[in-house]
Amino acid sequence: MNRILITGGSGLVGGEITRLLEQEGKEVAWLSRSPNENSQKSFFWDIEKQELDADALTWCDGIIHLAGTGVAEKRWTAERKRQILQSRILSTLLLYDSLEKLASKPKAFISASAVGYYGFDTGEVLQREDSLPGMDFLASVVKKWEGETEKIATLGIRTAILRIGIVLAKGGGALPEMLKPPVAAPLGHGRQYLSWIHVRDLARMFLHALEHSHVQGVFNAVGPHPATNAALTKAAAKAAGKPFVPIGVPGFALKLVLGEMAQMVLGGNKVSSAKIEATGFAYTYADLPSALAAIYRE
């Protein structure tokens, strides 16, 4: 596949995927509400109006679907929760409806998902792709999102879904937020597991799924060594040269500030990477020290 269409291409993960694809000599285009404002080749879409430039889908031979309103950027009001759900459902529905009309379809559709599928806090039980879904808001969003994505496979397009964990990067994601206070500290009791992955490994995983025909179905997009909130925060503080105190930020304080969203940062998931590794994927940054060293070296 030489022409790859990306939704959510301007985000942290989309930007890294774009860079890696272009390094490999692939052509990359984004779907965007404002295509003329991007330096990257872009086609128009508007998920609210369910409009999409049909040339985008005839141009590409593979699609990477990352689009969705951020879950951790704003407090979860009723309107924000609606946006989180609808941005994922409507974007996937628009792609399905548009792809269904094509006589000649792209070869592969690789979609983002989230380990939020398993629920806010699953303790020390290792979560695999066939584990039961959670019962909370994010789990319900992910279930519906994956349900819409799975319809793409009924069109004869090879479809893979990557359930993304905590993405480690210097320019965005969880790390800058963890290290924003003058002194780094765990959240809550700090024993909750965070299934993390270096942003470059995540981008490489999307490329791996795109390029290998045996990769289809659902896969956990996490590193092989989950860490507790306290261990990850301490290691990140050390790598960034910031002080760390082992006294956790009280859960009640987080709930006052974040509301319902506090459940997401006070909980965690210990998630298995065995299935994606069995397809032949190998990590560049399999352990936390090497991942953090690479991030802060850059």
Tens digits of residue pLDDT in 180-233: 889 999 999 999 999 999 999 999 999 999 999 999 999 999 999 999 999 999
Specify the pLDDT at position 29.
98
CA–CA separation, 215 vs 120, rounded Å?
Answer: 27
14 — pLDDT class (breaks 50, 70, 90): very high
CA of 298: how far to CAs of 8, 11, 132, in Å?
24, 19, 39
Tens digits of residue pLDDT in 84-141: 999 999 999 999 999 999 999 999 999 999 999 999 999 999 999 999 999 999 999 9
171 — pLDDT class (breaks 50, 70, 90): confident
Q: What is the percent of the chain where pLDDT is above 90? A: 86
State the total domains in the chain: 1
Token duo for residue 198: 């270096």
| Segment holding 122, helix H or strand E | strand 121-127
Tens digits of residue pLDDT in 40-49: 999 999 999 9
Query: Residue 26: which domain range?
Result: 3-297
How many other C-beta atoms can be found within 10 angstroms of the C-beta atom of residue 35? 17
Is it the case that residue 298 has pLDDT exceeding 70?
Answer: no
**Long-range contacts: 78-86, Cβ < 8 Å, 24+?**
81/137, 84/141, 85/141, 85/144
Specify the pLDDT at position 95.
98
| HSE, side-chain direction, 13 A CA sphere, residue 108 | 23
- 244 contacts: CB under 8 Å, gap ≥ 6: 183, 184, 185, 233, 234, 237, 238
Specify the pLDDT at position 251.
84
Query: Residue 238 belongs to a domain with what CATH number?
Result: 3.40.50.720
Mean pLDDT within 170-188: 90
12 — pLDDT class (breaks 50, 70, 90): very high
CA–CA separation, 107 vs 115, rounded Å?
Answer: 26
Specify the pLDDT at position 256.
78
Specify the pLDDT at position 211.
97
Is it the case that residue 252 has pLDDT exceeding 90?
Answer: no
Is it the case that residue 59 has pLDDT exceeding 80?
Answer: yes
Specify the pLDDT at position 62.
98
169: nearest Cα among 179, 159, 160: 179
